[in-house]
Structure formats: structure tokens, C-alpha cells
Amino acid sequence: MSKTNIAEIVEKMVEPICIANGCEVVDVEWLREGGERYLRIYIDRLTTPVDLDLCEKVSRAVSKVLDQNDPTDCNYILEVSSPGIERPLKKPADFERFKGERVTIRLFKAWEGIKEYTGILAGLNDEGIAITIEGNKIITIPRDRIAKVHLSI
């Protein structure tokens, strides 16, 4: 099974657990680092910052669910954590929630001679992600060129 499929399956499994604990799934990563496999689940909540107690509570619940119905065929390390101050933006709701915030957009390859843009998030539309740069210039970067979008400090 591909990395994307495993991450998507796990995200669907974890969503109800997060909702029950007053948080949301920001991202799920299935990857290999230093010879080990990792299943990383990033969670966030609107009301208060994510703390160690919440991560532990979600991790225990997720672990029980994965013990019963694990989509992987190997051993791995499960990590549940906050996405951090430079939270990735992935879902349409993220782009609405963080409109007006400073973001960095990294591209797969240069567009108009630039591979990374930083500006104020203006929104998400059918054409791509719109940001305000250089004070008042709004540009829309096509979605198919975008590798990653995250909040920028």
C-alpha cells in the first residue's frame, strides 16, 4: 500500500478520536527515517494550545484502534504531536481559518522564476492559492505547482 493511502486511511480512523477529544487532525505522515518507520499524527485545537496530556490521550486511543485494524504490514513508531507554530495548511477550511495570516508557499519547481513565496493569505479559489506580496500585489499560485503551504513566523 502506498504512503498516501496509509496516511489517508489512518486520518479517517483518527478523526473520530480527535473530535471526541476536542481537537482536529491537521496531518498524517507515513515515512521512513534512519531505518525506522514512523506514523506521525499532527493534531490541533481552536480553544487552547495542544499540550502533552492531549497528545498522550489521543495517542493511547489511536494505538488501541490501530492494534485492532492496522493498515500497515510492518512495525513503526507512533507519534502524536502539535503541528507547531508553522502549522501546515492542507484542507480548504485551513485556508479560510487562516486568511489574513502570513504564509510560506513552497513549489515543486520555480514559477515565474521563484520557488518559494511568502505573503499574507488572501484565500483559496479554483485557480489556486492567493497571497498578497510586496504590500498590495495579489498573486494566485496554481495548485498543481504547490508542494507545501504553512504558516510563517
pLDDT tens per residue across span 128-148: 999 999 889 999 999 999 999
Tell me phi and psi for residue 30, to 5 degrees: -120, 110
Residue 73, classified by CB atoms within 10 Å of its CB into exposed (0-12), middle (13-18) or buried (19+), is: exposed
So what's the pLDDT on residue 112?
87
CATH topology of domain 92-151: SH3 type barrels. (2.30.30)
So what's the pLDDT on residue 4?
61
Asked if residues 37 and 64 have their Cβ atoms less than 8 Å apart, the reply is no
Cell 515565474 -> residue: 112
pTM of the model: 0.85
- CATH 3.30.300.70 intervals, the chain: 3-81
Q: Which CATH number fits domain 3-81: 3.40.50.1110, 3.40.50.300, 3.20.20.70, 3.30.300.70?
A: 3.30.300.70
Below-50 pLDDT ranges, the chain: none
So what's the pLDDT on residue 46?
86
- CATH 2.30.30.100 intervals, the chain: 92-151
So what's the pLDDT on residue 1?
57
